[in-house]
Amino acid sequence: MFTVTFPDGTRKQCPAGTDLLEIAKQGGNPGPTERILAAKVDGGLVDLSARVDSDCQLQWLTFADPEGKTIYWHSTAHIMAQAVKQLFPEAKLGIGPAIENGFYYDFDLGGGFSPQDLEKIGQKVHQIIQENLPFDRQVVSKAKAQEVFSQRGEDYKLKLLREIDSDQVSLYQQGEFIDLCRGPHLPSTGYVKTFKLLGTSGAYWRGSERNPMLQRIYGISFPQQDQLKQYLHRLEEAQKRDHRRLGQLLDLFSVHDQIGSGLILWHPKGAAIRNTIETFWREEHQKRGYQLVYTPHIANEKIYQVSGHLENYSELMYSPMEIDGVPYRVKPMNCPGHILIYKSRQRSYRDLPLRYAELGTVYRYEKSGVLHGMLRVRGFTQDDSHIFCTEEQLSGEIVGVLELVEFMMKAFGYSYRAYLSTRPEKSIGSEQDWEKSTSALQGVLEQRGIEYEIDPGEGVFYGPKIDIQLEDTLGRGWQGPTIQVDFNLPERFEVAYIGEDGKEHPVVMIHRTVLGAMERFVGGLIEHYAGAFPVWLAPVQVVVIPVSDRQMEYARKIAGSLSADLIKVEVEQRNEKIGRKIRDAEMQKIPYMLIVGEKEVESQTVAVRKRSKGHLGNLKLEQFRSTILEETRTRTIE
């Protein structure tokens, strides 16, 4: 007999060799047995077919758990791949992971999938689900797996096997279908209750344009039909808010092959939004004692040898360029430059903390297959800041950063979730320094009563961090602020201060962003507001619309008066009917329309229309000016 202990502390004795599904049937589970998808045994993910023969900690996983969703979607990806192979035997299997929402699978087919193909694949998926085929896990030698996939002509699986160091691998089989996979998976295909194939796209193998183009099918699945309906509704809303579509419609930004993939051209209206955000950012940082700095876009490669970037970050850095026989790199980070500014003269404990801030443009290599509008780019401007302080000042500085985060995220209308990311496998520095920095971050989160989750192994190579995930109006998460504590770079660069004792002491360094990448932040805002920005952020706050050309002079006079107060205003000058002008302004999501006809000219007023609220009445220009200036000053969010 052995004892399993559940998360609530309850225990259950079972005969040695009992599989988990049998234990689930015997009770001690969170509801009907079919809700349980897999389990954690002593923290490791396992199938329900796994047998247990010693005392252990046992946690059931359902679709409500993040790991449960991943297993559910990954299993559905295998079912979809089986369906494709039955319909298209010549298709070669790529990879088929679960993703943030659903799953995909890549196939080398020599051509794309048509809508009719997707319909047939969906019907076949439904059939495989009805057959309720068990997912059978097999642990075999690497040589045996190579034999299996060689016989099946699965070239991409053979490539994956060559990347695996272990002598043993696991395969999963349902029916005639076999895949290379770590698992775990659902007990059987019948556990999938409802699904939807969402579409197709081209995708390079391993995300590199140097590799073959594969055909990717995306899908989603759920245990309940109403969950699928809700998801499809959210998906429809998300498509309406897609920043790429709105960016073109509202003339905010573009990407051109002539410039390069992943490089953003900001159009005047997009630049107006960015300028408003940057002005707000600068003002709030200066209020909090930050000093603005600028650093070059390129640097001698040696600086990145010292920092450790070449050793730990080289796959995201661009190849060197030679200048006067010396290798230079476009910068992936701003921190080395800020360190050298600090080191430009001797610093005393009286100088600390020193807070440097820069809207610094950096360049990082991203595979073409993952580039996505403004959200995943190769060149971006980061609102980067580095704080140099003593160990005693560390907690107070972290508090100050979190207060700034809370203030700015409220201004943009975001709620957020916090994560504490710990030491990754590829990292530098002593265990003692990692422990100190992790404890400092955790202590401040708990001191301020901020709920957080541990994100194991997701720290940066030089230190742990607090990651803030922003939540938009559809409940989606966006990467946002980050706070990183670093004992390592100060040691590598010998960054110190003179203490009260007259001796040198090592500095503690905080790396932090509040907005993150400006491109990603603005792209997220476009989707958060569906392009209908609040007045203070809108690229055009007011459009003055004359009823006819006879009121054009008055319209221009109004626009000039508002522009003098830095209100962003345009005049509608086209020779169109008034109804068309109003509809077009609404399509452009401009917050205010000022309609001026003969009546308004005579009374020296404006007829005010507000986006989504309609006609607000006639006002004197000064009344309207006061209203919009107050909305801008207070950063009112509609």
Structure tokens, 309:
């970037």
372 is catalytic: no
Q: Are the C-beta atoms of residues 174 and 79 closer than 8 Å to each other?
A: yes
DSSP symbol at 372: B
CATH assignment of the domain containing 301: 3.30.930.10
For residues 510 and 378, membership in a common domain is answered with yes
Has residue 32 been placed in a domain? yes
Domain boundary among 40, 62, 84: 62
Task: Please tell me the total count of domains within the chain.
Answer: 4
What does the alpha-carbon distance between residue 72 and residue 70 come to, in Å, rounded to a whole number? 5
For residues 44 and 87, membership in a common domain is answered with no
Q: Provide the CB-side half-sphere exposure for 112 (13 A, CA).
A: 8
The active-site residue, picked from 335, 347, 433, 541, is: 335
Average pLDDT, the chain: 93
DSSP symbol at 417: E
pLDDT, tens only, 589-599? 999 999 999 99
pLDDT for residue 28: 54
For residues 207 and 299, membership in a common domain is answered with no
For residues 45 and 109, membership in a common domain is answered with no
Parallel/antiparallel/unpaired status of strands 542-546 and 136-141: unpaired
Domain boundary among 62, 90, 108: 62
Has residue 625 been placed in a domain? yes
Residue-range definition of the domain harbouring residue 313: 265-528
Has residue 390 been placed in a domain? yes
Give burial (CB, 10 Å; 0-12/13-18/19+) of 418. buried
The active-site residue, picked from 40, 216, 465, 611, is: 465
The active-site residue, picked from 331, 378, 511, 589, is: 511
What does the alpha-carbon distance between residue 404 and residue 171 come to, in Å, rounded to a whole number? 50
For residues 384 and 429, membership in a common domain is answered with yes
528 is catalytic: no
Q: Are the C-beta atoms of residues 510 and 387 closer than 8 Å to each other?
A: yes
CATH assignment of the domain containing 578: 3.40.50.800
pLDDT for residue 120: 97
Of 352, 441, 361, 342, whose CA–CA distance to 389 is shortest? 352
pLDDT, tens only, 28-64? 555 555 689 999 999 899 999 999 888 999 999 999 9
The active-site residue, picked from 185, 196, 309, 364, is: 364
pLDDT for residue 32: 54
For residues 604 and 521, membership in a common domain is answered with no
pLDDT for residue 22: 86
For residues 523 and 620, membership in a common domain is answered with no
For residues 58 and 83, membership in a common domain is answered with no
Has residue 236 been placed in a domain? no
| C-alpha torsion 108→112→115→117, nearest 10 | -40
The active-site residue, picked from 106, 117, 383, 384, is: 384
CATH assignment of the domain containing 46: 3.10.20.30
Domain boundary among 230, 255, 278: 230
For residues 475 and 549, membership in a common domain is answered with no
pTM for the complete prediction? 0.81
The active-site residue, picked from 124, 216, 331, 386, is: 386
CATH assignment of the domain containing 142: 3.30.980.10
Which of 84-105 are b and which e, b meaning 16 or more Cβ less than 10 Å from the residue's Cβ?
bbbebeebbbbbbebeeebbbb
What does the alpha-carbon distance between residue 97 and residue 76 come to, in Å, rounded to a whole number? 10
Has residue 243 been placed in a domain? no
For residues 346 and 491, membership in a common domain is answered with yes
pLDDT for residue 460: 84
Has residue 253 been placed in a domain? no
For residues 160 and 219, membership in a common domain is answered with yes
Residues contacting 324, CB < 8 A, separation 6+: none
Q: Which residues of the chain have pLDDT under 70?
A: 27-34
Of 633, 546, 544, whose CA–CA distance to 593 is shortest? 544
335 is catalytic: yes
Has residue 397 been placed in a domain? yes
364 is catalytic: yes
pLDDT for residue 462: 81
Has residue 416 been placed in a domain? yes
For residues 555 and 575, membership in a common domain is answered with yes
165 is catalytic: no
